[in-house]
Amino acid sequence: MTDQRPQYGELATPEEQRRAAGLPPLGELPPAPPVVQSPPSEPAEQARGLSRSRPVDRFATIGLLAYGLVNVVITSVSYLDLPTVMDQSMKIFGIDGEFSNFAQGRLWGTIAAALLVVGWALTAALSIRRLRRGKLTWWVPLVGAVITMAVVSACIAVPMFNDPAFIAYLEQMPGG
């Protein structure tokens, strides 16, 4: 058994459907205003213009990050063997004796190497974020390097200032 009755609105004309919906008839609609494309807003133009007008900034930022990455890799590897690096540094400074604070040297060397990698990664992430936004960025790798090296230098100073040969050297210095 099939239902032969029409569904709601099936037999109504478009005019009857519009009247039932409370809409004006098709002939009474005002003409649609012509679509006029507005020029792009100034901030969008400025953002595009800034990112295009700073190729030197982009090149400098990427160059500094690449240089930093090479330094981080080489320095991190040497910090993993910090007692050897400290021994060589003591010879360069003219300190008699050898570096003997091996336990702290290995621990703080590993921490310093990890902090170098983390510092570079944070600097790179912030630099890329600023580059994508079209902001001036060349200074970010420089500031990131200074901050990272300050923290890493403090880590390296811990085993050095706890080494007996280095302490003896400081005590024999004039005014020390």
The per-residue pLDDT for range 93-102, each reduced to its tens digit, is 899 889 999 9
Residue 33 resides in a domain? no
What does the pLDDT look like over 10-50, one tens digit per residue? 777 778 888 888 888 777 666 667 766 766 555 554 555 44
**Do the domain assignments include residue 15?**
no
Token code pair at residue 32: 């649609």
Which of these, 144, 160, 67, lies nearest to 109 by C-alpha position?
160
Instruction: Domain count for the chain, please give it.
Output: 1
Answer whether residue 72 is part of any domain.
yes
Q: What are the pLDDT digits (tens) for 121-167? A: 999 999 999 999 999 999 999 999 999 999 999 999 999 999 999 99
Domain of 164 in residue numbering reads as 55-169
In a domain, 36, yes or no: no
Q: Does 101 reside within a domain? A: yes
Residue 22 is predicted with a pLDDT of 82
- What's the token pair of residue 59? 């090149």
